[in-house]
Every structure is written in structure tokens, then in C-alpha cells.
Amino acid sequence: MSKSTYDADGITLEQVREYVWEIPQEGDMRAPARVLASEALLDEIKEDKTLEQIKNTTHLPGITNYAICMPDGHQGYGFPVGGVGALDAENGCISPGAVGYDINCGVRMMRTNLTYDELQGHEEELVDSLFANVPSGLGGGGIVEAGVDTVDEVLERGVEWAVENGHGVEGDLLHCEDEGHREEADASKISQKAKDRGKNQIGSLGSGNHFLEVQRVTDVFDEKVGEAYGLEEDQIVVLIHCGSRGLGHQTCNDYLRKIEQQHQGLLNQLPDKELAAAPAGSQLADDYYKAMNAAINFAWVNRQLIMHRTRQVFERVFDRPWEEMEMDLLYDVAHNIAKKETHEVDGEQRELFVHRKGATRAFPAGHPEVPKAYRDVGQPVIIPGSMGAGNYVLRGGENSMDLTFGSTAHGAGRLMSRTQAKDEFWGGDVQQQLEEQDQIYVKAQSGATVAEEAPGVYKDVDEVVRVSDALGIGDKVARTFPVCNIKG
């Protein structure tokens, strides 16, 4: 090891083992904080307030073992993006800020039996048709524009509602985290304002870092697991990244304001008001948990509708039924959630609110919550990179339960703010460069969105995945590379 300690502007980290750094417990911290990173990634992580934020997280009541920052960590709202915090579900709390505004912002990958050779020559037609048929950008407009009763059904039933209404098939349920449905959801805990914001956005990408991308599989690192996931080199897959749109944002905002009004005493104990939390067992904690689960269902339906619309676009472009192209859901993983899960702590089974903000559940082989199709090899984990970089499919690693409460990274992690990115890059130049140098076709509602998501804005996804793989929390299975990308 080249260093046993790492100093980052007044915060000292001690190296526990390779790629595991700890901020020791001191003062009012209730536990240590850990950062999982190489020194190269630490050099980037220290540039914003990520380390301060993960240290602040240890002040939350009920924090168990340690607060964790993943290799892709960067500054967020109160709790860093890439943060994992397991809080005791009986004596701890639940924090909307530690979940995030875009509840269940997640990714899903759909397989096809098409090869890259079969797709070549269709790129422009495909990207144009996807852009025309999948709503994107700020504001309203979705594949489904719903009344109040429909919104309530979506919130309470999740993907089951979508399949029943012709937006998917039964197999889609079996390959989604929790089969696309959180039973604890209660639509009555979502405000009318949030429902009004969401009712015309069901089946839409939104803006920012959300996207729909057609990709080709360039590498399969683990043949056995790759076969279980139905992946092989040169295959075409589709990746969808979006969340709960305005409904999730409004829900987070609603409960942050309620916490400020009802639990000022707890708020005053925390070093950052953005970590606002409701004590476990309180009415507000119960209400937020039910509302959050409803927003999780909403986001799963959102991605389901986009995926099924994508199948229909492929049917028109390639002039054959989507079933013949074997356009099946590989998996859907959620970010920005807090789930009640049972984990072993000090030799005892304890129920915890596991907050994963910009982090991915990564359960290993044999875990009962991994879908039966993948239980022998482990849960699929999907890690998007930037538009000009590779993306990865991992599997939940055998060390994830011990090291990270069954979690790993969720992407490359930002290096630059959106404002910085727009100052640094011009959207048109980025699009032209991607097409000319990498044969990646990008279409977006605005050049600003492309600039905000330029390849240089993100950390090195290869390094993030290398650390995850080395720690055994998420093992490399396959790599994909973009072909077409649409953005808001």
C-alpha cells in the first residue's frame, strides 16, 4: 500500500484494506464512515463536499456499522450520491434526503437477438423513430395521460397495472426488482399536487442524465453468468434510465417540509438540515415509507411503458414482431430508495432501512430475493457510463452483504456540475464528435442537455467497476457500448 492515511482538506481517512478507507468515529458521529475507492477516485471524490456529506450522515440516529460512499460518489442533497446508510428500523429513522428527489431513478436493460451487423445502416432511422415515439424533456407529455383513478392504480399496483393494460407481458414482472411492485405502497400518502405533476408523465424520460440507449455487447468477461443473463458478444441490447419524474420530486419535497414542521428536535441534532429525517415508529416515518413505495411503483411503470414502446419502434424499423427479436427484459434495478431489509449485524438479524442513494442493490447468488432465473449466479447489476464510454453488467458479489449491506455503485459519477459542463462543452460539437469518432448517434431536445452529459463530465466508469469487482461487491460480467442515444 502506498498510503495508510489520506488527507482531504481536513478530513483524514485511514486505509482499512485495499480500496477501503475509513473516517474514524469522533465527536457526535454515531459510527465511522467508509469510502470505497482507489486513490485515483479519491482524488476526484475529495474535490466537492462528498466526504463532508458522508461524515455528516453518521450523525443520523440508528446508523448501523458505518455510512458508506461508493466508488462513483459525488456531492448530493445532504446525503452524497453513491451513498449507502443502513438505519435501524425500530430505533433509528428514515430520511427523504438520503433517498433523493428522484425516487427510484433506476435502469433497466432489455435483450434482443439482433446483432450489431443487422443493426448497422438503421441507426439514423432508429434514433429518429425512438425520439419521435418516446416522450422526453422537461414538463408534461407521456405515453399514458391518466386520470386520478389510474394514477392511484399505478402507484399501488406497479408493473402489474402496466401488463394488465397492454404495456408488457408476464415475463417482464419476473425480471424486475421486487417483480415491479412494492406492497407497502399507499397512494393516499401522495399529495394531490404530486399526482397532478405525474399524471401526464407516465411513460416519459424527462431530462438531465436520463436516456434511452441502444447498445452492443462488446465483451463478456464471465461466460457462465453471461449465458444465464442471455448476453453474448455483438448482441444488441437497450438500456433505459429514468425515474418517478415530477411525482417523485414533489413527494420528496412534501415530506421534507413536513419533517421540518413536525420533527424540529431531531433536525436540530443534525449537522446538515438537508439530512432531515423522521424517527422510526413515528406517523410521519410510516407515511413517508408508504409514499416512497408508491413513487417506486410509479417509476417502475414509467420504465415499463418506455420499454414496451421501444419494442413497438423496433417492430416498425426491423419489420418483424418484437417477440421474434426476443426483446425480453434482462433486469430492472432501482436507485434512490430506502427499503426495509433484514441484515446480520453483530451476529443478530436486524431490520434496517437501507438507504441507497445513487447506489444499486447487489445481492449475491443464493439470496432469496434474487429472481429465480438468476438465483444460482447472483442479481444482475447495471452500471451506465457516459455517452462516449462503455456500460457494464455486473452480478451481486459474494462480499456485498458483509461490506455494503448488499450494494454497489450505480454509474460513473459526475466530475462536473451541469453549469460547469455547459460552460466547458457545446452540445452540437459533442454530438458531432460522438458520431464521427465513435459512430454513436445522439438525439436530444436541446444541445444544453447533451453538453451537460458530455463524456468528459463523468468519472472513469472502468475504474469504478474495477474497484467494485476487486472488492467482490459487484463482479464484472459484460461490457456494452452505445450505438444510438436519445435524451430529454
Q: Is residue 413 marked as binding?
A: yes
Residues in the chain: 488
> Would you say 133 is a known binding-site residue?
no
175 annotated to a ligand binding site: no
CB atoms within 10 A of CB 302: 31
Write down the pLDDT at residue 347: 94
Residue 268 lies in a domain: yes
249 annotated among ligand-binding-site residues: no
Known active-site residue 410: yes
Number of Cβ atoms within 10 Å of the Cβ of 152: 18
335 labelled ligand-binding: yes
| Domain region containing 209 | 103-415+458-487
Average pLDDT taken over every residue of the chain: 94
pLDDT for 191 beyond 80: yes
Q: Give a yes or no: residue 44 inside a domain.
A: no
Task: Tell whether the model's pLDDT for residue 121 goes beyond 50.
Answer: yes
Burial 381-390 (b: 16+ CB within 10 A, else e): bbbbbbbbbb
Does any domain span residue 405?
Answer: yes
How many angstroms separate the Cα of 87 from the Cα of each of 6, 264, 279, 415?
A: 27, 19, 10, 28
Q: Which of 59, 74, 308, 410 is catalytic?
A: 410
- Alpha-carbon distance values, 100 to 254, 295, 356 (Å): 12, 12, 9
- Using one digit for the tens of pLDDT, what is the confidence trace for 219-238? 999 999 999 999 999 999 99
- With respect to residue 350, please indicate whether it lies within any of the assigned structural domains: yes
C-alpha torsion 273→192→341→168, nearest 10: -130
387 is annotated as contributing to ligand binding: yes
End-to-end CA distance of the chain: 44
Residue 94 lies inside a defined structural domain of this protein: no
Asked whether residue 74 is assigned to any structural domain, the reply reads: no
Q: Confidence class of residue 3 from pLDDT cuts 50, 70 and 90?
A: low
CATH number where 321 lies: 3.90.1860.10
Find the mean pLDDT for residues 189-197.
97
Q: How many domains does the chain have?
A: 1
243 belongs to an annotated ligand binding site: no
Q: Show the cell assigned to 421.
A: 459542463
356-368: average pLDDT: 97
Q: Is 135 annotated as a binding residue?
A: no
> Is pLDDT at 1 greater than 70 in this prediction?
no
Consult the annotation and say whether 1 binds a ligand: no
DSSP state of 63: B
Ranges 74-88, 140-154, 471-485: which has the least confidence: 140-154
Given a cut of 70, whether residue 138 has pLDDT beyond it is yes
Residue 217 has pLDDT above 70, yes or no: yes
> What percent of the chain is modeled with pLDDT above 70?
99
Decide if 399 is inside a domain.
yes
pTM confidence score: 0.95
Kindly state whether residue 261 falls inside one of the protein's structural domains: yes
**pLDDT, tens digit, for every residue of 261-284?**
999 999 999 999 999 999 999 999
Cα–Cα distance measured from residue 107 to residue 69, given in angstroms and rounded to the nearest whole number: 20
How does pLDDT run across 170-182, given as a tens digit for each residue?
999 999 999 999 9
pLDDT score for 425: 81
Cα-only R_g, the chain? 21
Task: Name residues whose C-beta falls within 8 Å of residue 149's C-beta, 6 or more positions apart in sequence.
Answer: none
Cell of 250: 414533489
Asked whether residue 376 carries a pLDDT value surpassing 60, the answer given is yes
> What confidence tier does 139 reach under pLDDT thresholds 50, 70, 90?
confident
Q: Is 109 assigned to a binding site?
A: no
Q: Please check whether residue 358 is in contact with residue 435, taking contact to mean a CB–CB distance below 8 angstroms.
A: no
